Amino acid sequence: MMPLLSEQARGTVSLVGAGPGDLELLTLRAWRRLQMAEVLVYDNLVGPGIVELAPPQAQRLYVGKSAGNHTLPQDEICRLLVRLAQQGRRVVRLKGGDPFVFGRGGEEMDLLLQHRIPVEIVPGITAALGAAASLGFPLTHRDHAQSCVFVTGHLKDHTIDLNWQALAQPGQTVVIYMGVTGLETIASELQAAGLPGNTPAALVYKATWPQEAIYPTRLRDLPRTAERYGVKPPSLLVIGSVVSLAQAWSTRQAL
């Protein structure tokens, strides 16, 4: 374990959610923390223009992770945050979406607290909320879904081990993060658990970014749809009848 420094020397770390991509979806507190940053440690899912909100003199450290390509392993990122704070610096750890929704913010917070480093959590709009608002499908709706579940498409060891029976319940929206590489398993397991193959579904690529795209489909056709359109991460998988409302939204927007 790293040696502890005095309270006077110890800096602070703000775990800041950058939202789904659109700069205008930052919270006011996130913007303020960026303005105050002495060091900015940021991910690859931070939207365009957001990093530039930090002062020009702030040190910028990119630690982005994408499929099969990690600039730094997670444990090294955690230790980096500790080291920077122990140098007495104001650190902003900028994450796409929300730090506590599949953002590994909990792991970073735990180690910082172990070293008695002050930590602040600044929530951000998670990708599912950004996609729903941008593309016009509510995650809950009295006529479609009375519950909504967020799950990860792969675990720490990259396996898929979900409670398929719980996810296959009627009247529910299921949003799967990081699920593109496991579409075959997801589609087959959900159908085996009783969710009809014709259940509406959609793949959403880079919600709220300039490159945003939605690919509506059905549960049984998810793998074929992804292959046909070449859908790649970062993409969300949304399953449930609320997806059908996105078409009505796009039609009205075009009028």
SS3 state of residue 207: coil
Measured CA to CA, the distance from residue 215 to residue 223 in angstroms comes to: 12
SS3 state of residue 34: helix
- The interaxial angle of helices 127-135 and 245-254, nearest 10 deg, is 50
Measured CA to CA, the distance from residue 179 to residue 116 in angstroms comes to: 36
Q: Is 43 an active-site residue?
A: yes
Q: Compute the CA torsion angle 76, 41, 155, 129 (nearest 10 deg).
A: 170
SS3 state of residue 252: helix
Is 156 buried (19+), middle (13-18) or exposed (0-12) by CB count in 10 A? exposed
Measured CA to CA, the distance from residue 137 to residue 151 in angstroms comes to: 18
Token digits of residue 91: 């650190």
Is 155 buried (19+), middle (13-18) or exposed (0-12) by CB count in 10 A? exposed
Measured CA to CA, the distance from residue 162 to residue 45 in angstroms comes to: 25
Instruction: Given the residues 43, 95, 98, 206, select the one marked as catalytic.
Output: 43
CA 49 distance to own-chain centroid: 18
Question: Catalytic residues, which ones?
Answer: 43, 65
